Structure 1
Amino acid sequence: MTLDGLPRHHGGADDLARLLARALLAGHWQPGDAFPRELDLCDHFAVSRNQVRNALASLTATGLIERTAGRGTRVRQIGDWHLLDPLISEWMTGIDSLEPQLIREIFAFRYAAEPVVAELAAEAADSQDLARIETAWRGMCRTADDPDARLPHAEYDVAFHDAIYQASHNLVWRQMGHLLRPSIIALIKSSQERAHDHHEGLDDSLARHGQVLEAIRRRHPGGAAHAARAVLQRTAIDLGIVDASAESTP
């Protein structure tokens, strides 16, 4: 597959691995596609074959590609990608748009997990947790109507969700929130872009986030789970995963 459109490479094997991985995660190549040959990578990026092999070893170790003697290299199916590997989490950081199937898979996980995490937060959150959640929500409100503040708004949004993971006071969920942070911010950016492109305001999303905060503050686990699910229903609409008319009233 073509290497056209990829930025020039500057650095070592780790930087080359990051560049290629980010292209894969963004959908430059699709699962099942043939991946460029070593010599083509060497020519395109003006690097040594040893550097290319070391970069490809990282992509292989994280499940992104499969190398078979005599058959070349292919992109593996998304189900084989090691999405919770810290290296993939690092590679995702800063990506504005993920591969569409990857967006759906990450969203499906969040839809199942985050209501549970919100329930735990409603039971376990302390005053510092509540302050972090509220600070993030107020930051979202301040930046919602400013077209020049999309990045700060996305950062407040991801801080809101991260604070809820932390407020669960469960070690595994806390670690999961950390690992998912880059993918969550990529989803938030994608949903923001779609909402702005369709000239839709963020008032509804802000109200739903506020309901999550209020349910956690009131120690209402069932209400927190319901409100978290409603936030994700809004996200599904903004991402185009479901049509707004198909949503039940939260």
Structure 2
Amino acid sequence: MADFLAEAIFSGRYHPGDFVPKEVDLCEQFVINRSAVRSDLRQLVDAGVIERISGHGSKVREYAEWNILDTQVTDWMTRYAAPNPGIQREILSFRLDVEPYVALTAAKRATARDLVAMEEAFEGMGQNLHGQGGRLHSDFDVAFHVAIFKATHNIVWAQLSHILRPSIYMLVAESNTSASDPEASLERHRQLMESIRARQPREAFLAAQAVLAGTAEALGIEPGDSALGRQLDLV
């Protein structure tokens, strides 16, 4: 039932401010008891997607209230959501403020094993760039970015990569589908990898910006207030 309501909300059948069906109606529709309905509604409440209003029912909350980095929420978004430019813009803006610094740190700390992980992901991206390999290309693309997070050898960044993985996948899959020049995108990823391999923190920072600028262009959205295009005095 939780998935049924999540699909209805994330696909846009219910909008922020709308009330979802009442408990008694959900009991009848799914032939389950009220306790089971409340348990499933609790999943959506805990995710920040709906709120319970005593005497009225359950209402969809504003997008800003959703726990969009919660793995359950991002899973629902990946499976059910129509492209939402507002949410995409927020995630991209966050990535633009974070990932260039992650790349900079990786350029200082990456080990040979980290570089192998990046290379394998990059090769997988290249091998599945065209044809029927779209899903695999996106999987390898996400693995490439996760490898960079892990190459910082900071346990917080490494754990954050797992939290962010569904959000990164959501942007990667959509931008890879709409990219006008996938070869150029692949080349930007190669330059990022080579900057980390050469231990060039400044170049890695700028290369990460370039990768994400390409994502913004493919999605056709302005990333908002972020580090994009900022000329920084990096050391």
Question: C-alpha separation between the residues in 2 aligned to 1:226 and 1:119?
Answer: 9
Give the letter for the 1:143 counterpart: N
- Which residue in the other structure is 2:133 paired with? 149
TM-score by length of 2: 0.86
Q: What SS does the corresponding residue of 2:14 show, helix, strand or coil?
A: coil
Match of 1:167 in 2: 151
Question: Is residue 2:188 matched to residue 1:208?
Answer: yes
Find the counterpart in structure 1 of residue 167 from structure 2.
183
Distance 1:101 1:37, change over 3 A: farther
Question: Counterpart amino acid of 2:183?
Answer: D
Check conservation: 1:32, 1:75, Cα contact below 8 A. Answer: yes
**Which of 11, 16, 19 in structure 2 is aligned with 1:31?**
16
- The match for 1:237 is 217
Q: Gaps spanning 5+ residues in structure 1: where?
A: 1-15
Considering Cα pairs closer than 8 Å and 6+ residues apart, tell me whether 1 or 2 has the greater RCO. Answer: 2
User: 2 CA distance for matches of 1:98 and 1:181?
Assistant: 17
- CA RMSD in angstroms comes to 2.4
Q: How many residues of Structure 1 are paired with residues of Structure 2 in the alignment?
A: 226
What is the Cα deviation at residue 30 of structure 1? 2.6
**CA contact under 8 A between 2:69 and 2:167: conserved in structure 1?**
no
Which AA in structure 1 matches 2:186? L
Given candidates 103, 106, 111, the residue that maps to 1:126 is 111
Q: 1:145 to 1:165 in 2, by over 3 A?
A: same
136-145 or 46-55, which deviates more: 46-55
Asked if structure 2 preserves the Cα contact closer than 8 Å seen for 1:25 and 1:99, the reply is no
SS of aligned partner of 1:74 = strand
Deviates more, 1:204-213 or 1:94-103: 94-103
Cα offset, 1:192, TM superposition: 2.0
TM-score (norm 1): 0.81
1:79 and 2:57 correspond: no
Check 1:63–1:231 CA distance in 2 against 1; reply closer, same or farther (3 A cut). Answer: same
Equivalent AA in structure 2 for residue 59 of structure 1 = L
Report the identity percentage.
43
Q: What amino acid sits opposite 1:191 in the alignment?
A: S
Please state if 1:20 is matched with 2:1.
no
| Structure 2 CA distance for aligned equivalents of residues 27 and 114 of structure 1 | 30
Query: What is the deviation of 1:87?
Result: 3.7
